[in-house]
Structure 1
Amino acid sequence: MNRKIYISLAILCVLVLSLQAACFARTPDKLPNVKILATGGTIAGSGATNTTTVGYTAAVTPVDALINNVPELKKIANVSGEQISQIASENMTNEVWLKLAKQVNTLLSQDDVDGIVITHGTDTLEETAYFLNLVVKSEKPVVVVGSMRPPTAMSADGMLNLYRATILAGSREAAGKGVLVMLNDTIHAGRDVTKTITDRVDTFRAPEIGPLGFFTGDKPVFYRAPLRKHTVFTEFDISQLTDLPRVDIVYHYANNTGDVIKALTQAGVKGIVHAGTGNGSIGKVEYPAVEAAQEKGVVIVRSARVGNGIVARNGEANDDKYNFVAGDNLNPQKARILLMLALTKTSNPEDIQRMFWEY
């Protein structure tokens, strides 16, 4: 009797394992559905020769051609494309960000979309990734990808980057980790990553913090996950927004006069990110201009031009006295993103400081 039970259990286990294998097999009808949203950039560029890696024309190849240039995509996902914009990313605007984010949220709300890849120029890629990290309302994977060399160049990196970004967007491992950036076989958190080198394929890095993971062959392998709030856990809602509050960055340097702060205040900015020296220092000569800006309701965030490290509250400035917001470890361009979104909710520096600690 016991022998019969053991045989029956063994048969049952084999059936269960066979069923699991069938469920997770990558047959054509079981491939993930990945939408590729194109915004332009080098990955869609063209050079005069196959050795042209600078001085090429960005944003000329449409999304359907990008997809067709990588026929291997059909083996890893059911892909379709949509052209959101066709620009070099130094020309990125709030309007494009809002259009892109709204479309991402619309697509991810659909059951037949498992993940999204966004092709993007590298100049402002980190800013778009962080913006989306704060406003996307889904835990499905969103992967921002670009390239440092146009498709016409020898050893172009765009096709492999797109291929692996599509694998990542269709993977279970990427879900719930916020908006990701994938270039050069390296997976980064959208909050942490920045462009560090002008022209090399290993330009995207997360100084001090490091990447989330890497590709080994065609498999994404994660070693850590983001801890700061993102996507479905943020308080930001852009569904009804048609523009964002104006926020500019002021770069501090020796012999700064404060005139830029005065000019921005007159131009009607709602917030200023001060990229200070060292630990976010503000020069004495700037304080009159800063206080005049605050009297007109301008919120001041202290960031640092250094590129690494935490801007300590009440460190190089009396933030409590002057109602400054300490920018934590966000670089100036990312501090600007968070301040813009914060100003859609409040202009209270204490509330905004809380957001900088959380996001």
Structure 2
Amino acid sequence: MELDLTWLLWGLPLAFALGWLASRLDLRQWRMESRQTPKAYFRGLNHLLNEQQDQAIDAFIEAVQGDPDTAELHFALGNLFRRRGDYDRAVRVHEHLLARADIGRKDRDRAQHALALDFLKAGLLDRAESALHKLEGSAYEGEALMALLSIAERSRDWPQAQILAQRLEDTHQGSFTPRLAHYLCEEAELAMSQGDAAEAQRLLNKAVERAPQMVRGWMALSALKAQQGDTKGAFDTLLQLVRHAPQGFPLAARPIADLSIATGRQQEAIALLNEAQAHGPSLDITEALATLSGSATAARRHYLSHLEREPSLVAATQWLAGETLSDPAAQKRVQAALEHAAAPLKRYRCAACGFEARQHFWHCPGCQSWDSYPARRVEEL
């Protein structure tokens, strides 16, 4: 019996035509879906550029629903939630990414880092710390160590902060010597509050040995010696400050003047202060010289000398305080107005965030930066 192959001649072209038609239908469907996602995505970008975060979030949610497998859209959505302060939703997005089995190690580490930032921004320090520890050995290890260091500082866990700062320095993430010295000073303050002056002095000696260019260690060590009655040692410590950290001279000017009176070394202090003043006028140095001048008239001459070199409302107010006007009542009101206007100029200002304060801070309470306060007042900047 001969096999009839006629049906093959008709069947093969028909199968080819049906397959081609099916592929065209699938391609058309794919194109329709792919058009929808970019539209939502670009709409979200447009809202971001216009700083419309709520509308951008809605657009990215639409894009994610259209293409749930796109990790980049999830990252963008999670970061937007965090920036808006919606930390719960940011955490859910990044935890969803971590739960997926189809993302690579790089994206997994990125999601873990983003999750840690969510917890950190939300103030959940224990959960942030746990998430950051999981980044050890990843490309985000350096950033994780910096975040852990920030947590240790906020928690005032200075021994742990020292360990982390030393690790960062050992891995060439920058120089952390000044911070390590600050941590020793913080521990010394704690020891002093507990009545352990010997331990405080040991820590401060270690701080100035580690970072002799740092002002705080010398200032704290001098104050400790003065508190213990060793005024000569306190004065000599400030002389060490002048040699090793001259940028901090304005902060040390008044203590130098006070200690010189206690030790009978006024002439030595006056010579030191005049030499510093010759290099650049400073309100604190002028006030220290006025303190050592011995008379109100001589003190006013120092303020006048300051005004000759540099205009200063603070110095002018101090000079006018010694003047006698024909109308005492008017002079009192004028003096009060000048002191009120000059008060903000006596403040210190953080160079990192602009936070102003009456006292000098080693650690900015606004932005948490170290050594961001110059030794000079606002009027002198």
Considering the TM-score relative to the shorter chain, is it more than 0.5?
A: no
TM-score, normalised via structure 1 length: 0.24
* Structure having the higher Rg: 2
Whose strand proportion is higher, 1 or 2? 1
Whose helix proportion is higher, 1 or 2? 2
